[in-house]
């Protein structure tokens, strides 16, 4: 097949891990006779430096025209000035919104050979396999917000609002429930319906869709504070989790600590049509950038998600995942996973995965 893939390396370790993801794509194309055309465009802090905006028009246009987008990471201390007109993160939020990428899939599983890296007891994390569906284009991130003179006379007051429509809840719930059917057939919806009106609409809609369209799928509601606790005390109780944007942001960072390293977790952001966006869930890690020691495996696993969800290449996707597992089972580690043991650099890890594809 022929596919047009846009690469958005971004900032910090983004370019280093993305280079390995691109090499894996090339290796897959060679092995299976596909043609992937890949071109890089700026996003984030480097785009602010060069073009004065975190998402230049040509980047957005190329992304719209593609079948899939692979992103490294954005941000860094250089652009952290709170008085700055624009921030690297704005580029990410804008591309999500512009491309209608409302569903953010974040799988969290713990490989047996890495259980030792978890801060939790092995018997709690062994066998954890959760798929988060985080709503990505609504809620607090995109609701009405503003700043005005404070009512108490103390200066200013600011507000951000959480808004969800029935349709926004229905579409993410449907994707979550469909995914559950292919897994362990259970969906947990996380909300704060004991306090927030918006959560009560969320819960009502979730229950209606599950009862009427997915009578074969088990479901439950869990309040977000309890969910934060259960993620640590009994993570194996979760299969598919569906939740609003900010709850999902927080819970998936918490969940990423179950395997003990963010360096292994990919994510996919999907809309109802058009290209999907794939990225590691870790950030730009400016403290280790440029040293060739970042872990490229989360990006390589994001490549597997890209092959599966945007290009419908399931065999290729499964092969990439198996290659990563093989390399880890053989004992190869990047610095973040090595403890006091030996480790390989970013590019060498890419080489090992590519060799394991054969």
Neighbouring residues of 205: CB distance < 8 A, sequence distance ≥ 6: 166, 169, 170, 173
CB neighbours (10 Å) of residue 153? 6
Q: Which one of the spans 39-47, 89-97, 143-151, 309-317 is the region binding ligand IPM (CB under 6 A)? A: 89-97
Q: What does the DSSP 8-state code read for residue 198?
A: H
Neighbouring residues of 253: CB distance < 8 A, sequence distance ≥ 6: none
Closer residue to Mn ion in complex, CB, 244/249 = 249
Task: Specify whether 253 is catalytic.
Answer: yes
Task: Specify whether 249 is catalytic.
Answer: yes
Q: Are the CB atoms for 199 and 191 separated by under 8 Å? A: yes
> If contact means CB under 5 to 8 A according to the sort of partner, which of Mn ion, ligand IPM, none does residue 11 touch?
none
Q: Are the CB atoms for 307 and 34 separated by under 8 Å? A: no
Q: Which one of the spans 8-16, 17-25, 87-95, 335-343 is the region binding ligand IPM (CB under 6 A)? A: 87-95
User: Interface with ligand IPM includes 254 (CB under 6 A)?
Assistant: no
Burial tier of 7 (Cβ tally within 10 Å: 0-12, 13-18, 19+): buried
Which residue's beta carbon is nearest to the bound Mn ion?
A: 249
Q: Are the CB atoms for 205 and 173 separated by under 8 Å? A: yes
CB of 96 to ligand IPM, least distance (A): 8
CA-CA-CA-CA dihedral for 337, 342, 348, 350, to nearest 10: -30
The Cα 320–Cα 331 span in angstroms is 17
User: Interface with Mn ion includes 135 (CB under 5 A)?
Assistant: no
Angle at 123 between CA 119 and CA 129, to 5 degrees: 80
The Cα 241–Cα 243 span in angstroms is 7
Q: Which of 249, 316, 321, 336 is close enough to bind ligand IPM by CB under 6 A?
A: 249
Closest of 287, 269, 286 to residue 278, by C-alpha: 269
Task: Specify whether 152 is catalytic.
Answer: no
Q: Which of 25, 29, 92, 175 is close enough to bind ligand IPM by CB under 6 A?
A: 92
> If contact means CB under 5 to 8 A according to the sort of partner, which of ligand IPM, Mn ion, none does residue 92 touch?
ligand IPM
CB of 319 to ligand IPM, least distance (A): 27
User: Interface with Mn ion includes 244 (CB under 5 A)?
Assistant: no
Q: Which one of the spans 32-40, 58-66, 242-250, 315-323 is the region binding Mn ion (CB under 5 A)? A: 242-250
Q: Which one of the spans 27-35, 88-96, 189-197, 299-307 is the region binding ligand IPM (CB under 6 A)? A: 88-96
Task: Specify whether 182 is catalytic.
Answer: no
Q: Which of 4, 26, 86, 89 is close enough to bind ligand IPM by CB under 6 A?
A: 89
Q: Which one of the spans 35-43, 86-94, 286-294, 306-314 is the region binding ligand IPM (CB under 6 A)? A: 86-94
Neighbouring residues of 272: CB distance < 8 A, sequence distance ≥ 6: 100, 102, 171
Task: Specify whether 81 is catalytic.
Answer: no
Which residue's beta carbon is nearest to the bound ligand IPM?
A: 89
User: Interface with Mn ion includes 249 (CB under 5 A)?
Assistant: yes
The Cα 262–Cα 256 span in angstroms is 6
CB of 357 to ligand IPM, least distance (A): 28
CB of 253 to Mn ion, least distance (A): 6
What is the radius of gyration, based on Cα positions, of the chain?
Answer: 20
Residue given tokens 């209608």 in the structure block: 100
User: Interface with ligand IPM includes 244 (CB under 6 A)?
Assistant: no
Closer residue to ligand IPM in complex, CB, 118/284 = 284
The CB-side HSE value for 344 (13 A sphere, CA atoms) comes to 16
- The residues of the shown chain that bind ligand IPM, judged by CB under 6 A, are 89, 92-93, 249
- The residues of the shown chain that bind Mn ion, judged by CB under 5 A, are 249
Among all residues, which ones are annotated catalytic?
141, 192, 225, 249, 253
């Amino acid at each position: 097949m022929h596919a047009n893939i846009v690469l958005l390396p971004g900032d910090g370790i983004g370019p280093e891990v993305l280079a390995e993801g691109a090499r894996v794509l090339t290796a897959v194309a060679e092995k299976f006779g596909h043609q992937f055309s890949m071109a890089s465009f700026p996003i984030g802090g480097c785009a602010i430096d060069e073009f004065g905006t975190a998402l230049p028009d040509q980047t957005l246009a190329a992304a719209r025209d593609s079948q899939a987008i692979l992103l490294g990471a954005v941000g860094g201390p250089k652009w952290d000035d709170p008085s700055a007109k624009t921030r690297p993160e704005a580029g990410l939020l804008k591309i999500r919104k512009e491309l209608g990428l409302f569903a953010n899939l974040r799988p969290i599983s713990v490989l047996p050979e890495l259980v030792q890296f978890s801060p939790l007891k092995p018997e709690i994390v062994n066998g954890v396999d959760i798929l988060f569906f985080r709503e990505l284009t609504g809620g607090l991130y995109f609701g009405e917000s503003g700043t005005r003179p404070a009512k108490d006379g103390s200066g200013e007051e600011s507000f951000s609002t959480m808004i969800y429509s029935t349709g926004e809840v229905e579409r993410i719930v449907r994707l979550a429930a469909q995914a559950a059917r292919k897994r362990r057939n259970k969906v947990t919806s996380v909300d704060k319906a004991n306090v927030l009106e918006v959560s009560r609409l969320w819960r009502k809609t979730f229950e209606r869709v599950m009862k009427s369209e997915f009578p074969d799928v088990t479901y439950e509601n869990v309040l977000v504070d309890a969910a934060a606790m259960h993620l640590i005390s009994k993570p194996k109780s979760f299969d598919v989790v569906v939740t609003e944007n900010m709850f999902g942001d927080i819970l998936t960072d918490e969940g990423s600590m179950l395997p003990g390293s963010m360096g292994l977790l990919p994510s996919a952001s999907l809309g109802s049509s058009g290209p999907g966006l794939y990225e590691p869930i870790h950030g730009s890690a400016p403290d280790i950038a440029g040293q060739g020691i970042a872990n490229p495996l989360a990006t390589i696993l994001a490549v597997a998600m890209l092959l599966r969800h945007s290009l419908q290449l399931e065999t290729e996707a499964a092969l990439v995942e198996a290659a990563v597992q093989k390399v880890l089972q053989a004992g190869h580690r990047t610095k973040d996973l090595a403890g006091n043991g030996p480790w390989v650099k970013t590019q060498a890890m890419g080489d090992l995965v590519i060799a394991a594809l054969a």
